[in-house]
Structure 1
Amino acid sequence: MDLVLVLVVVVALIVVATTALKTHPFLALLLAAFLAGFGFRLPLDELVPTVTGGFGGILGGIGIVIVLGTVIGVVLERSGAAVTMAETVVKVLGPRYPTLTVSIIGFIVSIPVFCDSGYVILNSLKESLARRTGTSLVAMSVALATGLYATHTLVPPTPGPIAAAGNLGLADQLGLVILVGLGVAVPAALAGLLWANRFRGVEPDGEEAGGLAEVTEDVEALRARYGRLPSPAAAFAPILVPIALICLGTVAALPSAPFGDGTLASVVSFTGQPLVALLVGLGCALALVRPREGRGRRHQFHDDVADGLTASAPILLITGAGGAFGAVIQASPVGDYLGENLSGLGIGVLMPFLVAAALKSAQGSSTVALVTTSALVAPLLGDIGMDSDLGRVLVVMAIGAGAMTVSHANDSFFWVVTQFSRMSVAQAYRAQTAATLVMGLTTAAVVWVLSLVAV
Structure 2
Amino acid sequence: MSSIALSSVLVVLSIVAIIYLTSKVKFSVFGSLFAVSLALALGSGMPLGKVIDTLKSSFGNTLGGISFIIIFGAAIAVCMQKSGGALSIASHILKLAGKGNAKAAMAWTGFIPGLTIFCDTGYIILSGIARSVSASSRTSMPLIAAIMGSSLFVVHCLVPTHPGALAAATALNANLGMLVLASVLFAIPGLLASYYWAGLMDKGQNYAPAEIEDGADDLSQDNLPKFSHALVPVVLPLVLISISTLLTTLGMKDGGATVFHFLGNPVMALLVGMLCGVWLLSRHGGQKGDFTKVLEEAIVKAGPILIITAAGGMFGAIIKETGVGNALGGVLGGASVGLLVPFIIAALLKTAQGSSTVAALTTAAIISPSLQTFGLDSEMGRVFAVLAIGAGSMIASHANDSYFWVVTKFSNIEMQQSLRVFSSSTFVMGVVTFACIWAASAFML
Scaled to the shorter chain, the TM-score interval is over 0.9
Letter in 1 for 2:216: D
**2:242 corresponds to 1:252:** no
Residues matched between the structures, number: 440
Deviations 1:243-282 (A, max 9, x none): 111121222223x424x631x2111111111111111111
* TM-fit CA distance, 1:191: 0.9
* Superposed displacement of residue 291, structure 1: 8.7
Shift of residue 69 of structure 1? 0.8
Given candidates 246, 258, 269, the residue that maps to 2:261 is 269
Please state how far the C-alpha of 1:139 moved relative to its aligned partner: 1.6
Q: Does 1:337 align with 2:327?
A: yes
Shift of 1:315: 0.7
Aligned-pair RMSD on alpha carbons? 2.1
Aligned to 1:310: 300
Match of 2:371 among 367, 376, 381: 381
Q: Are 2:268 and 1:281 aligned?
A: no
Give 2:234's aligned residue.
239
Are 1:371 and 2:324 an aligned pair?
A: no
Pair 1:361–1:74, CA change in 2 (3 A) = same
Aligned to 2:196: 194
Answer yes or no: is the 8 Å Cα contact 1:66–1:316 preserved in 2: yes
Distance 1:3 1:367 in 2: 24
Report deviation, 1:134: 2.7
Pairwise CA distance, 1:85 = 0.8
In the superposition, relative to structure 1, how do residues 291 and 180 fare at CA in structure 2: closer, same or farther (>3 Å)?
Answer: closer
SS of the equivalent of 2:291 reads helix
**Residue 166 of structure 1 pairs with residue 160 of structure 2:** no
Whole-Å separation in 2 of the counterparts to 1:23 and 1:325: 16
- The alpha-carbon deviation at position 216 of structure 1 amounts to 9.6
Pick aligned residue for 1:176 from 175, 178, 182: 178
SS at match of 2:288: helix
Change (3 A) 1:169 1:398: same
Instruction: Report the alpha carbon displacement of residue 303 of structure 1 after superposing the two structures with TM.
Output: 2.1
Q: Tell me the equivalent position of 1:322.
A: 312
Q: 1:153-188: per-residue Cα shift (whole Å, max 9, x none)? A: 111312221122111112xx2111111101110111
1:292 shift after superposition: 8.9
In structure 1, the residue matched to 2:84 is 80
Q: Shift in Å at residue 203 of structure 1?
A: 4.1
The within-5 A match list for 1:57-206 is 57-170=61-174, 173-198=175-200, 199-204=202-207
In the alignment, structure 2 segments of 5+ residues that lack a partner are none
Residues 60 and 420 of structure 1, relative CA distance in 2, 3 Å threshold:
closer
Partner of 2:225: 230
Report the secondary structure of 2:217's partner residue.
helix
Asked whether the 8 Å contact 1:136–1:201 carries over to 2, the reply is: no
Match 1:213 to one of 207, 211, 214: 211
TM-score normalised according to structure 2 size? 0.93
Q: Verify the 8 A CA contact 1:329 1:379 in the aligned structure 2.
A: no
Question: Whole-Å Cα distance in 1 between the matches of residues 206 and 295 of structure 2?
Answer: 40
Mapped partners of 1:164, 1:298: distance in 2? 38
Note closer, same or farther for the CA distance 1:396–1:317 as it changes in structure 2 (3 Å cut).
Answer: same
Instruction: Tell me how far apart the structure 1 counterparts of residues 96 and 381 of structure 2 sit (CA, whole Å).
Output: 36
Question: What SS does the corresponding residue of 2:216 show, helix, strand or coil?
Answer: helix
Judge conservation of contact 2:66–2:306 (CA < 8 Å) in 1. no
Q: Which residue of 2 aligns with 1:55?
A: 59
Could you say what secondary structure the match of 2:100 adopts? coil
Q: Match for residue 416 of structure 2?
A: 426
1:415 aligns with 2:405: yes
Conservation of the 8 A alpha-carbon contact between 1:291 and 1:300: no
Structure 2 letter corresponding to 1:100: A
Unaligned runs of 5+ in 1: none
Contact 1:204 1:422 in 2 (8 A): no
Superposition TM-score, scaled by structure 1 size: 0.91
One-letter amino acid of the structure 1 residue matched with residue 243 of structure 2: L
Identity of aligned residues (%): 36
Instruction: String of CA shifts for 1:212-238, please: whole Å, max 9, x gaps.
Output: 534697333x876xx821111221111
Assess if the C-alpha contact under 8 Å between 2:224 and 2:284 holds in 1.
Answer: no
Distance 1:59 1:223 in 2: 42
